[in-house]
Chain A
Amino acid sequence: MKFPITLTVNGVPHSIDLDDPRVTLLDLLRERLHLTGTKKGCDRGQCGACTVILDGRRINSCLTLAVSHDGADVLTIEGVASGNELHPMQAAFIAHDGLQCGFCTPGQIMSAIGLVMEGHAGDDPERVREGMSGNLCRCGAYAGITEAVLEAQRKMANPDKPDLAKPDHVKERAA
């Protein structure tokens, strides 16, 4: 049985003829669309490495079925930068060394962007820490992560550029 769905991923529409209803959004992205920036750390919603923004909300892509999201809009780590210009959250993670091995980093960044979009943490470090607690980092980069989110949050608050998926960019070279 086929399950035809359409998904917009990072602004690009995809028509997918899903052959298996068991495919999670995470496995669809990684194994079928080959968007491997989104990581699988636990596959059970317990680590946050698979965080993407689905229809404007950060979620664990490992715990949702692709077939259930016909017509949805997905933003992944690959769609956050604008060309060679990094998103302020990405730049802040580098500047504050909010990463070590980098495996949790795409999930951390997507979660952080989602957190800022939700607007409940503001510039309160304690609320940022709480709001980022769904993203484990075994290397222990939490101090840098919190600093990065606070800094990027200030940059993203610029009202002239309300599109948080492509907000004001800082000068950083992409590889």
Chain B
Amino acid sequence: MKNFEYVRPATISEAVAAAAEPGAAYLAGGTNLLDLMKGGIVRPNRLVDISHLPGLDRIERLPDGGTRIGALVRNADLAHDGEFAKSYPAIAEALLSGASGQLRNAATVGGNLLQRTRCGYFYDPASACNKREPGTGCDARGGENRLHAVLGWSEACIATHPSDFCVPLAALDAVVEIEGRTGRREVTVEALHRLPGDTPEQENVLLPGELIVAVRLPKEARTFSHHARYLKVRERTSFAFAVVSAAVGLRIEQGTIWDARLALGGVAPKPWRAHAAEKIVEGCVPDAATFRRAAEAALADARPCGDNAFKIELAKRIIVRALTLAISETAERVAALPGSPFAPVAGALHAS
């Protein structure tokens, strides 16, 4: 690990000023950043330790019915906040399906939004990677890319975004509050992450020094609490990144889906909101054919980037399954195996 200047600002504005320098990085939970530094994937000159900044570790109910989550709230604390989990069960389930108990105790909300990809070529400094070193190429193209993106990828980058947490946030129109040198601004989670295009190193719209200070859920987000699920397919039962995941929230009244929210994880360089699929199920009485149509719509633009065509079909099936599961009333408590198809759920369809 390269030696670095360690700075511990007392205020947000001090932090923003300290981090605006080239080569500076924010340190919060450290669970992703230190991993990357140990691997030689990032080598910052300065670490701006924001983990002690006051006031960023609160979960607040807003007067308009929304919820504001401070950027330093730990994943575990958010997932286990009773009021929060009841209002946003898909988010709690996504959080608890990710990483391990130890990592969830350390990882922060803000850091999770900025998690880097698990692409093996990104993680291997000897491989060509446009994201890690712009202009060097992409060794994942033509390489071991069974788990790479099927949506939103470019010739320059086929990596996926690994976060579970971001998937329901994108589905629920969460907004990110950002503090920069010129003041505060907001973007939606959906707009926070960029598609790679020719500049995969630019993963998000943050400017140098800008700091995520909070994530806000709009008041509508809690209207999906009764029919919400996060479903995650992975290669072992726990402590694994998603191969494909889906977050679903439905507002059902008198047997009709009036509002739907759907996003996918593990399929694209960013959390992937499936607007077209939402439109298809809205106004419909739930049935398998409609869900399959929605799934086809969500993956209409999908194409394999290599040895990963199965992910397209898998993504369609997980959409159908997640929608199907969400028809049932949300369970009182997140299942023992969060996000797992093995979590027992009444009313599940297994029509294979």
Residues of A at the B interface (CB closer than 8 Å) are 3, 20-22, 24, 43-45, 48, 51, 57-60, 62-65, 67-68, 111, 114-115, 118, 120, 124, 126-127, 129-135
Name the B residues within 8 Å of A67 (CB-CB): 6, 49
Of B31-39, B65-73, B218-226, the one contacting chain A is B31-39
* Minimal Cβ-Cβ distance residue in A for B2: A22
Query: Given the complex of chains A and B, what is the CA–CA distance between A63 and B36 in angstroms?
Result: 10
A134-B99 contact, Cβ under 8 Å, with A45-B35, A59-B105, A64-B106: yes
Complex Cα distance, B79 from A120, in Å, reads: 11
In the assembled complex, the Cα of A45 lies from the Cα of B32 at a distance in Å of: 9
* B:121-163 near A, CB below 8 Å: none
Cα-based distance from A134 to B74 in the complex (angstroms): 17
B336 in contact with A126 (CB, 8 Å): yes
- Please, how many angstroms separate the alpha-carbon atoms of A155 and B254 in the complex? 49
Q: Which residues of A contact B4 (CB under 8 A)?
A: 21-22
A and B contact pairs by CB, cutoff 8 A, 7 listed:
A59-B105, A63-B30, A64-B34, A65-B30, A68-B8, A111-B102, A127-B336
Residues in A with CB closer than 8 Å to B29 are 64
Q: Does B239 contact A (CB under 8 A)?
A: yes
Determine how close the nearest CB of chain A comes to the CB of B134; give it in whole angstroms. Answer: 25
> Taking A48-B100, A48-B102, A134-B101 as contacts, is the C-beta distance between A63 and B31 under 8 angstroms?
yes
Which residues of B from 236 to 251 have beta carbons under 8 Å from A? Answer: 237-239
Binding site for A on B (CB under 8 A): 1, 3-6, 8, 27, 29-31, 34-35, 38-39, 47, 49, 51-52, 74, 76, 80, 99-103, 105-106, 237-239, 336-338
B102, A130: Cβ atoms under 8 Å? Answer: no
Pick the contact of A21: B38, B47, B238 (CB < 8 A). Answer: B47
Task: Point out the residues of chain B lying under 8 angstroms from A59, CB to CB.
Answer: 102, 105-106
- Contact of A133 with B35 at beta-carbon distance under 8 Å, contacts A21-B4, A48-B100, A60-B103 already known: no
The complex places the Cα of A132 from the Cα of B35 at a distance, in Å, of 21
**Interchain nearest-CB distance for B236 vs A (Å):** 9
Contact B80 A120 (CB under 8 A): yes
Q: Is the CB of B105 within 8 A of A130?
A: no
Say yes or no: B51 contacts A118, CB within 8 Å: no
The answer for the CA separation of A58 and B106 in the assembled complex, in Å, is: 9
- Check A68 against B27 for contact (C-beta < 8 Å): yes
Closest 9 CB pairs of A and B: A134-B100, A133-B238, A126-B336, A21-B6, A57-B105, A133-B239, A127-B336, A59-B106, A60-B102
